[in-house]
Homo-oligomer: A and B are copies of this chain.
Amino acid sequence: MDLIFHALADTTRRDILTRVMSTEQSVSALARRYDMSFAAVQKHVAVLERASLVTKQRQGREQIVQGDPGTLRRARRLLDDYEDLWRMRVSAIDDLLAEETPGTAGRDPNTTTH
């Protein structure tokens, strides 16, 4: 998890991810889009790869990069879990209020049912 979120905590890497999620591309094709050295982009891809957000696949002399939706889902699920915690906490307070003053539902504006 540390690896996943760390990989996502960089604008360039998120941009690379955006690109390869919709179209798989070679590392050099990606590098051409950014104002930094090939080696720098190569490192960014390596970080994404270590996090399993991306996979590489050799094709001749090129290395084709493609996104991995499975890892993305795992990350999203974690965020969902945090939101669930919040909802449970609020509903616990709601229950308490409902018990004390029945009829006064007191909905929390931050709580969104999906």
User: Residues on A close to B: CB < 8 A?
Assistant: 1-6, 8-11, 14, 17-18, 21-23, 67, 69-70, 72-73, 75-76, 78-80, 82-83, 85-86, 88-89, 110-112
Q: Nearest Cβ distance between residue A26 and chain B, in whole angstroms? A: 17
Residue contact B6 to A82, C-beta cutoff 8 Å? no
Asked whether A73 lies within 8 Å of B67 as measured between CB atoms, the reply is no
Most buried by B among A17, A75, A80: A75
Report how many copies the assembly holds: 2
Contact partners of A82 in chain B: CB under 8 A? 17-18, 21, 67, 69, 72
CA gap between A67 and B10 in the complex, in Å = 23
Chosen A-B contacts, 10 in total, with CB atoms closer than 8 Å, are A2-B10, A5-B6, A5-B8, A6-B6, A22-B88, A67-B82, A69-B111, A70-B110, A76-B79, A76-B80
